[in-house]
């Protein structure tokens, strides 16, 4: 495989056996020990100046510790079958767990400060840059255990839920698929099969999706065990920490009230008929009586074009360039600097991600590019994440990573820029239909489908307390939640009962999925502002990205005049979707 198609991790470390990597593992352990010696059981006695010095040391430690862990994650994502990357990945996981346990005391002692002392510290102007970090920590005070208990839970996690999570990754990456295509049986990766949901032949689409899902059914014992373990672990954690609802820890970490999240989901569900209207329209466009769910992303009969990587790259850079020259340069840098791994292959993680590193290290992208329009949009999406991470590098380490509700903002905005570029430069009416369909389907997938995923996940966690969830039970939950979206507009193929089994967010990032819904609707509102204000909008938008995690979502969005607690705000996004559907109807 060409070097230009794989990422270059040597700027991080020369190799898995390099002295630099070994030295960072050792240096991190030494500095953690020194920090623990210097501050353990002393945080309550620190002045504002003393706490400021400690926080700066803590940040430097975090940057030192995370670098070898991120490096190992990149290598494992690119090749989970290499013994070297497996060993390094496991070493990094154990190292990170141990270092985290050694540093637990610092957050805990801040959380446990007396109210008067804490309030005096956060009001001190010298700690202003860390005020949000301190206040965000403090919100977990009712749910935090002793240092000994927290350390034991973290330590046992290595052989508990984290081990099951790793097993899920390794098995998922190891699966091999055989399917007949063009008269011969061939081997495929999971990503290649899922890409065939965009194939022009309905029989190929259904066969590819069924082949993928049937392989997961063959491993139902393993996947249901992993999902049960994740749910049971969370239930026990909730009991120990006195949480009342499975989503409460995530919402608290996201700094979004539970009632706002519930409002978001209820508004989404109230708009499911909008998706069903589109599905019926898509069936007419395809000339079939009714869609199967393997047909939702089908190309229109005259739109089956593919894109080379060079074309996709140029389109994405141009889309960002129409908004900001700085953003175009940052987009192109991923390719010129070889910070992107492009093609699917055995052993490589599926899907796509942007790995945000630290304020001093540039992010990396993983793709599984197969050349369809959706893959071009995925590049725009992941590049958006990367731009977000770049712009937020003005922040310190503790304020760097954006909160989940805002984490998808730049990525979804990038997709919208790409769509409008394609629409504005296309004069062919039939191709315009295809582009509009692709964007509408993307919004449906990023809002309604993610809402379905969140409801399934919520139901899984709520029901697990009543006993083991068999694979059959999980299939039933999945089927019922998806039926609420599809209604009588789409027939689900029978193998789709196992659609839950390959969604990695359920295992790795509990209740992450609603952040996509949040971001999509947020971006639809932001994009409408951009169309009205143009140049005036750029500094407002850039400021949102530059804030990183230094403020609450509400405070970050305040300069844009956005109020997330208002259900009408979420409805605005769906109103724009309705407008796109009407625009499509006018082209018919």
CA–CA gap between residue 394 and residue 381 (Å, rounded): 22
CA dihedral sign of residues 144, 149, 150, 156: negative
Longest dimension (CA), the chain: 75
| Residue 222 Cα distances to 42, 501, 507, angstroms | 46, 10, 13
Beta-strand relationship, 184-188 and 177-181: antiparallel
Q: Which helix (H) or strand (E) holds 159?
A: none
pLDDT tens digit at each of 588 positions of the chain: 566 799 999 999 999 999 999 999 999 999 999 999 999 999 999 999 999 999 999 999 999 999 999 999 999 999 999 999 999 999 999 999 999 999 999 999 999 999 999 999 999 999 999 999 999 999 999 998 888 888 888 888 888 888 899 899 999 989 999 999 999 999 999 989 999 998 999 999 999 999 999 999 999 999 999 999 999 999 999 999 999 999 999 999 889 999 999 999 999 999 999 999 999 999 999 999 999 999 999 988 655 678 999 999 999 999 999 999 999 999 999 999 999 999 999 999 888 999 999 999 999 999 999 998 889 999 999 999 999 999 999 999 999 999 888 988 999 899 999 998 998 888 888 888 888 998 899 899 999 999 999 999 999 999 998 999 999 999 999 999 999 999 999 999 999 999 999 999 999 988 989 988 998 898 888 888 898 898 899 999 999 999 999 999 999 999 988 888 889 889 988 998 999 999 999 987
Which is nearest to 305 in space by CA: 424, 438, 453?
Answer: 438
All structural domains of the chain, each given as residue ranges with its CATH number in brackets, are 19-144 (1.20.140.70)
CA–CA gap between residue 490 and residue 441 (Å, rounded): 14
| Residue 472 Cα distances to 224, 335, 467, 572, angstroms | 9, 44, 14, 38
pTM of the model: 0.82
Which is nearest to 527 in space by CA: 397, 416, 391?
Answer: 416
Show the tokens assigned to 448.
């309604």
For 292-343, the DSSP string reads ETTSTTPPPTT------HHHHHHHHHHHHHTT-HHHHHHHHHHHHTT-EE-S
Which residues are bridge partners to 184 per DSSP?
181
Show the tokens assigned to 173.
């990456």
CA–CA gap between residue 77 and residue 89 (Å, rounded): 10
> 473: which residues sit within 8 A by CB, 6+ positions away?
463
Cα 336–Cα 364–Cα 373 angle in degrees, nearest 5: 75
């Amino acid at each position: 495989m060409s070097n230009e198609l794989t990422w270059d991790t040597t700027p991080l470390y020369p190799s898995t056996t390099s002295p630099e990597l070994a030295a960072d593992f050792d240096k991190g352990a030494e500095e953690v020990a020194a920090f623990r010696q210097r501050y353990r059981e002393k945080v309550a006695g620190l002045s504002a100046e003393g706490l400021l010095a400690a926080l700066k040391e803590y940040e430097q430690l975090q940057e030192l510790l995370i670098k070898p862990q991120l490096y190992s994650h990149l290598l494992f994502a690119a090749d989970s079958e290499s013994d070297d990357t497996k060993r390094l990945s496991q070493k990094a996981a154990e190292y990170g767990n141990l270092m985290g346990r050694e540093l637990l005391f610092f957050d805990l002692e801040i959380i446990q400060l007396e109210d008067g002392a804490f309030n005096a510290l956060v009001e001190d102007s010298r700690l202003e840059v860390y005020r949000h970090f301190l206040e965000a920590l403090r919100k977990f005070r009712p749910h935090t255990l002793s240092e000994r208990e927290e350390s034991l839970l973290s330590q046992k996690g290595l052989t508990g839920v984290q081990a099951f999570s790793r097993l899920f990754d390794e098995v998922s990456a190891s699966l091999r698929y055989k399917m007949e295509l063009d008269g011969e049986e061939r081997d495929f990766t999971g990503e290649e099969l899922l890409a065939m949901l965009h194939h022009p032949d309905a029989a190929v689409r259904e066969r590819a999706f069924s082949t993928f899902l049937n392989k997961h059914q063959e491993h139902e014992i393993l996947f249901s065990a992993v999902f049960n373990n994740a749910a049971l672990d969370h239930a026990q954690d909730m009991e120990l920490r006195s949480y009342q609802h499975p989503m409460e820890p995530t919402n608290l970490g996201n700094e979004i009230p539970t009632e706002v999240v519930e409002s978001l989901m209820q508004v989404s569900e109230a708009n499911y008929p909008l998706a069903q209207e589109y599905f019926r329209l898509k069936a007419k466009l395809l000339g079939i009586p009714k869609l199967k769910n393997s047909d939702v992303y089908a190309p229109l009969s005259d739109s089956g074009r593919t894109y080379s990587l060079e074309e996709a790259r140029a389109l994405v850079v141009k889309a960002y360039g129409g908004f900001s020259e700085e953003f175009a340069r940052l987009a192109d840098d991923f390719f010129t600097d070889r910070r992107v791994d492009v093609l699917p292959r055995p052993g490589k993680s599926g899907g796509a991600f942007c790995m945000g590193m630290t304020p001093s290290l540039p992010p990396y992208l993983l793709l599984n590019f197969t050349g369809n329009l959706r893959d071009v949009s995925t590049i725009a999406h992941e590049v958006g994440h990367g731009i977000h991470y770049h712009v937020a590098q003005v922040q310190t380490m503790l304020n760097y990573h954006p909160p989940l509700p805002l984490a998808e903002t730049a990525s979804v905005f990038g997709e919208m820029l790409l769509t409008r570029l394609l629409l504005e430069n296309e004069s062919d009416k039939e191709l315009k239909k295809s582009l509009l369909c692709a964007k509408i389907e993307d919004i449906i997938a990023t809002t309604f489908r993610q809402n379905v995923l969140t409801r399934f996940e919520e139901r899984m966690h709520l029901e697990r307390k009543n006993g083991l969830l068999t694979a059959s039970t999980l299939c039933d939950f999945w089927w019922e939640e998806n039926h609420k979206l599809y209604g009588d507009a789409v027939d689900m193929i029978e193998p789709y009962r196992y659609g839950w089994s390959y969604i990695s967010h359920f295992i790795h990032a509990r209740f992450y999925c609603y952040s996509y819904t949040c971001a999509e609707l947020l971006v639809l509102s932001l994009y409408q502002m951009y169309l009205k204000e143009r140049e005036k909008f750029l500094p407002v938008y850039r400021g949102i990205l530059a804030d990183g995690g230094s403020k609450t979502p509400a405070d970050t969005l305040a300069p844009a005049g956005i109020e997330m607690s208002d259900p009408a705000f979420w409805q605005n996004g769906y109103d724009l979707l309705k407008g796109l559907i009407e625009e499509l109807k006018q082209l018919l």
